[in-house]
Amino acid sequence: MKKIIVYLILITAIFSASCEDVIEVDLDNVPPKLVIEAAINWKKGTSGNQQKIKLTTTTGFYSTEIPKVSGATVSIKNSANVVFNFTEIEKTGEYGCATFIPVINETYTLTVIKNGNTYTAVETLKPVAPITKIVQNNKGGFTGTDIEIKTFYQDPTGESNYYLYKYLYSNQLKSNFYVDLDDFFNGNEFFSISQNDELKKDDKIEISHFGISKAYYNYMSVLVSIAGNNGGGPFQSPPATVRGNIINTTDAANYPLGYFSLSEVDIRNYTIE
């Protein structure tokens, strides 16, 4: 009986070793698409003059690098036709502007020109209600034993507001994102809530509340449902072909990925007690 068991172990080991070959599946190759990460965020208490836009392309499934897009012409103009030019930073695919002027409820037009194609989008800079307090609950979660953080604000009365919440944790590599609308708490105090059941004393959290448009709320709702609320963030390449608000006016079929958004943002840092 012991000999039979030994033989079985040896056979299993040989069979397992023979199954360690890596098999790559041939996937269909499609032309890369331009990805435009144009999130203009105005942090409360700052001038908002420093802004950045990032251009990349989609790439193959097995690729470990995200191709950067250099040599593009990037600009944003406001409703008074004042143009803010974004200049590339040393062939990084990142385009910066130090003179942007953010104005709440102002409408802006993004223009990106690359390889004979012109990409445009129109969006309005949305305000956000200020964060009023942060409350720690040590009896949160389903078990009643998790540390839970609620970040409160006073939603404005008589208007529709849409929110994007971001929680960046020191004990977790990825950020948590989720969206909200004020249909059920219009004009009342409300809160965002942490979604991390492994918080402990001295962990640090950076909490961001963004004011966003209804269209961006709809876009982010789709992204969060695809990627999960810790899928890496809305300002990175989308995990699926989700159409944003940027169009190719030269060739409509060759549309880009990404989104042009403008938000006022309130940010707080909190250390777990």
34-127+233-264: CATH topology is Immunoglobulin-like (2.60.40)
Distance, in Å, from the CA atom of 83 to the CA atom of 126, rounded to the nearest integer, reads 20
pLDDT category at 237 given cuts 50, 70, 90 is: very low
Mean pLDDT of the chain: 88
Residue 228 has pLDDT above 80, yes or no: no
Residue 252 has pLDDT above 50, yes or no: yes
Residue 11 has pLDDT above 50, yes or no: no
Residue 23 pLDDT: 56
Where exactly are the structural domains of the chain?
34-127+233-264, 131-210
Distance, in Å, from the CA atom of 265 to the CA atom of 216, rounded to the nearest integer, reads 15
pLDDT category at 29 given cuts 50, 70, 90 is: low
Tokens of 57: 């392309």
Mean pLDDT of 2-30: 51
Among 74, 130, 73, 128, residue whose Cα is nearest residue 102: 128
Residue 132 pLDDT: 98
How many residues in the chain? 273
pLDDT digits (tens, 9 = 90+) for 197-221: 999 999 999 999 999 999 999 999 9
Q: Report how far apart the first and last C-alpha atoms of the chain are (Å, whole number).
A: 59
Residue 1 pLDDT: 44
pLDDT digits (tens, 9 = 90+) for 105-153: 999 999 999 999 999 999 999 999 999 999 999 999 888 899 999 999 9
Burial class (CB in 10 A: 0-12, 13-18, 19+), 2: exposed
